[in-house]
Amino acid sequence: MTYKVGIPQGLLFYDYYPLWKEFLNELGTEVILSKKTNKTILDQGVSNCVDEACLPVKVFHGHVCDLKDKVDYLFIPKFVSIYKKEFICPKFLGLPEMVKNTIEDLPPIIDIEINLRKSNLNLLKAVIKTGQYFTSNLSKIAMAYNKALKHYERYLDLINQGIVPIEAVKMYNLSLKRNKSFNQNNLNIMILGHSYNLYDEHISMNLIKKLQSQDINVLTPEMIDTDQINQHSSRLPKRMFWSFGRKIIGSAFSAIEEKSIHGIIYVSSFGCGIDSILIDLVERKARENSIPFTLLTLDEHTGEAGVNTRVEAFIDMIRWRGKDESNISTHG
Ligand code: SF4
């Protein structure tokens, strides 16, 4: 029997999908994805999640609703920590429990714990535990995971070449390598925020594509070299122990100090505690270096027309500033 395993297209989807998909496929299962986020998924998420949750967590619940009647298992790992001595947002830790307690008639959930705070050994345990849902053969599990890692490395390579994860996720298993260097004549705009806000086209209202269609080079945290991120984030007076925070701060500071960008758009979810700290740090650094900065705060009530107007005004301001109005405020 081929088991169907559902992976919701939400939260850490763009961070790890190629790894989990190939691993589960190698174990002989069929991976089923929820649909891309749309209004129905958003509405289902909002009505099946606690009001206090942030937008991406609500959207994730909508993806679970979309999948639950189509699969034998749902894959919802319990992420505690993804780097040594660091944590990620506690919402990830409680995610499987939240889903179980708010959505009825769910299939069994593969809710293995990923906790690399003390050592990477825990990842091995998580891999074995996931594999054991489908086979007792440990060498089959190890081989499946090693093959999946190779696909995942190709995915990360594509992103390092300047391909945004929305595109890279479609390309990684085609063994095609596209060398996409930025057009030197275009504006370079950095979009900051969590991967699940930036790359979900419904949540971000297609921000990346809209900018690219105006011949703007888009840079995101995932496209910045890890060493650069670590080097720049380590200069903070206090250690950033949130992994997402370290990545966002390190990538922003790196791009700002290298003067490789013309502006920053920060995409945040309403009520996100981590973002409230990051936004302040990035905005100060941008202001010190005369890099225009603007913030888009999103929730389920945000209208696309308002977002478009803000973004258009911001881009126009940067273009005017570049041409002949160098005294225009850098604070969008
Ligand atoms: S980091 Fe912020 S946006 Fe992400 S899950 Fe936590 S509260 Fe939500």
166 belongs to a structural domain? no
310 belongs to a structural domain? yes
Q: How far apart are the first and last CA of the chain?
A: 56
Same domain, yes or no: 220 and 294: yes
Q: Indicate the top mutation candidate among 12, 55, 58, 194 to test ligand 1's pocket, ranked by most ligand atoms within 8 A of CB.
A: 194
Same domain, yes or no: 240 and 287: yes
Buried b (16+ CB within 10 A) or exposed e, 211-234: bbeeebbbbbbbbbeeebbeebbe
* Residue 327 confidence (pLDDT): 57
Residue 114 sits at φ, ψ, to 5 deg, of -110, 110
- Using an 8 Å Cβ cutoff, are 260 and 188 in contact? yes
112 belongs to a structural domain? yes
Decide: 88 in ligand 1 pocket, CB within 6 A. no
Same domain, yes or no: 128 and 207: no
* Residue 330 confidence (pLDDT): 57
Decide: 91 in ligand 1 pocket, CB within 6 A. yes
138 belongs to a structural domain? yes
Give which of 171, 224, 251, 164 is closest to 199, Cα–Cα. Answer: 164
The total of structural domains in the chain comes to: 2
Domain region containing 80: 4-160
Decide: 58 in ligand 1 pocket, CB within 6 A. no
Q: Indicate the top mutation candidate among 272, 298, 299 to test ligand 1's pocket, ranked by most ligand atoms within 8 A of CB.
A: 272
Q: What is the pLDDT of residues 53-89, one digit of tens each?
A: 999 999 999 999 999 999 999 999 999 999 888 899 9
- Of 130, 160, 190, at which residue does a domain stop? 160
Decide: 247 in ligand 1 pocket, CB within 6 A. no
Count of CB atoms situated within 10 Å of the CB of 180: 13
Identify the CATH number of the domain in which residue 286 sits. Answer: 3.40.50.11900
* Residue 231 confidence (pLDDT): 93
For the whole model, what pTM was predicted? Answer: 0.90
24 belongs to a structural domain? yes
Same domain, yes or no: 139 and 8: yes
Identify the CATH number of the domain in which residue 39 sits. Answer: 3.40.50.11890
173 belongs to a structural domain? no
Cα–Cα dist 145/20, whole Å = 9
Please give the number of the atom of ligand 1 that sits closest to the Cα of 88.
Answer: 1
* Residue 24 confidence (pLDDT): 97
Same domain, yes or no: 253 and 302: yes
* Residue 176 confidence (pLDDT): 45
- How far does the centroid of ligand 1 lie from the alpha carbon of residue 274, in Å? 7
- Using an 8 Å Cβ cutoff, are 113 and 126 in contact? yes
Decide: 198 in ligand 1 pocket, CB within 6 A. no
165 belongs to a structural domain? no
- Low-confidence stretches of the chain (pLDDT < 50) are 175-179, 332
Cα–Cα dist 309/58, whole Å = 26
Same domain, yes or no: 281 and 212: yes
* Residue 322 confidence (pLDDT): 73
* Residue 169 confidence (pLDDT): 81
